[in-house]
Amino acid sequence: MLAVDLHTHSLFSECGLHTVVEMLGEASRRGLAALAITDHGPAMRGRCPSPFYERLRDPVPGVRLLKGMEANVVDEGGKIDAPGHAIGWLDVVLVGLHVRFQRGDDSADWTDPLVRAMVRNPCIDVVVHPYDPAFPLDLERVAAAAREQGVALELNNSKLALGRVPAETALRFLEICRRAGCCVALCSDAHALNEVGNDAALRPLLKSAGFPEELIINRSAEAAFAFLDARRARKLIPPEKP
């Protein structure tokens, strides 16, 4: 079980099944120190209500609410869809490739837009599921860019548990991250209560890969909070112009 789960969805995402408070209640019952609610950005029809960011304060005793968003890369230049009004309130910003957009060279490789997004948007903390077969990437380049920007790459429990990513792909990903010295975030990508904090599909792979614990940003609650605290000031840096 994860001490801090950095990727979950509530009813504010079309794919989430439960309220924020229900998700936090389950995290508390499972003994998590903190839970990030990271609903989708507007390009994936996620809701971004300002009262959630501005007013909600740890509604469930015993578990810290981390306010987040799973933003989307939305153009070739690396623009993301995180609304400006929300950025300053966010504890964690995830970003991923979910929506297709027009490419200047009609390339099947999506590495350039993702790397540009990391460089252009210093608010990004974690790149999610960078081994998604729907968006092929040069993982060596992505890992090198992530290390340079201080961004973590995600190892996603749901993708493995549901069979959407083969174990061999995840092992290759971990080896690339190890060689690059790139940090990894272990995340449940929970859409339902029974998935909150779940890392059962990840632990055997980490052991098999001999992955260094010091490269896992949420290996403990203290490590997760230190990572997020170190990056907090970057939420207020405006994105670079393309």
Determine, yes or no, domain membership for 205.
yes
155-209 pLDDT, tens digit per residue, is 999 999 999 999 999 999 999 999 999 999 999 999 999 999 999 999 999 999 9
Determine, yes or no, domain membership for 123.
yes
Task: In whole angstroms, give the CA distance from residue 40 to residue 129.
Answer: 14
6-18 pLDDT, tens digit per residue, is 999 997 887 777 8
Determine, yes or no, domain membership for 200.
yes
Determine, yes or no, domain membership for 191.
yes
* Region for residue 118 given its phi and psi (left: phi exceeds 0; alpha: psi -120 to 50; beta: otherwise): alpha
Determine, yes or no, domain membership for 78.
yes
Query: Per-residue pLDDT averaged across 28-48, rounded?
Result: 89
Cβ-defined contacts of 220-224 (< 8 Å, 24+): 220/3, 221/3, 221/4, 221/33, 221/34, 224/3, 224/4, 224/6, 224/33, 224/34
pLDDT for position 104: 76
Determine, yes or no, domain membership for 186.
yes
pLDDT band for position 236 (cuts 50, 70, 90): confident
Name residue 92's amino acid.
V
Instruction: CATH number of the domain at 90, please.
Output: 3.20.20.140
pLDDT for position 88: 85
Give the global pTM. 0.94
pLDDT for position 55: 79
107-141 pLDDT, tens digit per residue, is 789 999 999 999 999 999 999 999 999 999 999 99
Determine, yes or no, domain membership for 103.
yes
Percent of the chain past pLDDT 70, that is, above it, reads 98
pLDDT for position 8: 97
65-111 pLDDT, tens digit per residue, is 999 999 999 999 999 998 887 888 899 999 999 999 988 776 789 99
Q: Which domain holds residue 125?
A: 69-236
pLDDT band for position 46 (cuts 50, 70, 90): low
Determine, yes or no, domain membership for 132.
yes
**Number of domains within the chain:** 1
